Amino acid sequence: MRGFCRSAHVDQVGNAVGTWGAGELSVWLLGHIDTVPGHIDVRIEDGVLHGRGAVDAKGSFCAFLAAVAKLPPEAAERLTITLVGAVGEEAPGSVGARHAVASLARPNLVVIGEPSGWDALTLGYKGTMQFELLAQDHSRHSAVDEPTPAEKVVEAYNAVRGHVEGANGARPGGGRSPSQGRVAPPAALFDRLQLRLLELSGADDGLVQQAHARLGFRLPPATDVAALSANVRKLAANAGAEGRLLPGAVEAHRAPKEGPLPGAFRAAIRAAGGTPRHKLKTGTSDMNVVAAAWRAVDQNVPPMVAYGPGDSNLDHTPAERLSLTEYLSAVAVLRDALQALAS
């Protein structure tokens, strides 16, 4: 970034931050530059880059850099672009994105660097919440006819699972049609509450028996984290277990389809020979994190999209790879979209 930005530095938490241009319209290009564990030999085979982070999400941030470096000098009179290579995976950590919100002026527009495919925009991500279920009791013989801590945790999980299924049945598109008695088509996955059992363990040292479960929720729009947490705690208590909300919960965010920002990307995708697509993802990204932070201040969230080359199904997998042809197409789309915003 020092080669083409007017300034570039590493901030207090380790973010790589560059500033290009000095125009009135402020645009953030925010990507994360950490990687998950698991070594993949970095190599190029048949025009495809293999390596951890090629898709998630260094590929997107590198596309940001390459696109800005290709902008004409006159665009710098209209745009101030802040490139943020954020450290820390998105929620529940997101130390880099959270620090950017706290330390930098709020922009007019935001592009989040996440793989969408070169011809697609991501307009929304579901929220996330993690919860622990815990139970313990003094050790006793297995012949004693009382629920064990493990059974209490399993009972609590089953109760939470039933609550989630009931909540989805009450949503539009889910449940039964009262007039016909038929099961209606399920609601779109983006609009459904999802639950996963992420961990389950137990221990007995001869004095104390313990059981623990960690639950992961994917939250649809308008989900109240506090209300859901209270329900889970109550269900856990009814089963004889304790429920604890873990730090880092964030709500869903869905950006509007219309406006100058998505319009500029659609036009750029068409100019590159593609047919624009719009995506809503069941995962969580830094879009949720920064939206929640700004919403907590004054409800004023800048227009946002997420964009980047690559197939997000390859995120965190041993087969992570990125077509360099797609990468170059994404660079061209980003450059043209930014140039359109500057015009």
What H or E segment, with its residue span, contains residue 178? none
What is the Cα–Cα distance from 22 to 18, expressed in whole angstroms? 12
Identify the burial level of 73 via C-beta atoms within 10 angstroms of its C-beta, where 0-12 means exposed, 13-18 middle and 19 or more buried: exposed
320 is catalytic: no
Q: Which of 60, 59, 58, 40 is nearest to 50 (CA)?
A: 40
Does a cis peptide bond (omega within 30 degrees of 0) precede residue 92? Answer: yes
Q: How far is CA 13 from CA 16, 27, 35, 60, 102, in A?
A: 9, 21, 16, 21, 12
Query: Residue 279's beta-bridge partner residues?
Result: 122
* H-only helix segments in the chain: 58-69, 95-103, 149-169, 225-238, 260-271, 286-298, 324-342
41 is catalytic: no
Instruction: Point out the catalytic residue in the list 56, 89, 114, 286.
Output: 89
Cα 283 to the chain's mean position, in Å?
5
Instruction: Point out the catalytic residue in the list 11, 24, 34, 146.
Output: 34
Q: Which of 230, 258, 263 is nearest to 244 (CA)?
A: 230
What H or E segment, with its residue span, contains residue 4? none
Span between the terminal Cα atoms of the chain, in Å: 24
Query: Residue 27's beta-bridge partner residues?
Result: 81, 109
Cα 280 to the chain's mean position, in Å?
11
The catalytic residue positions are 34, 89
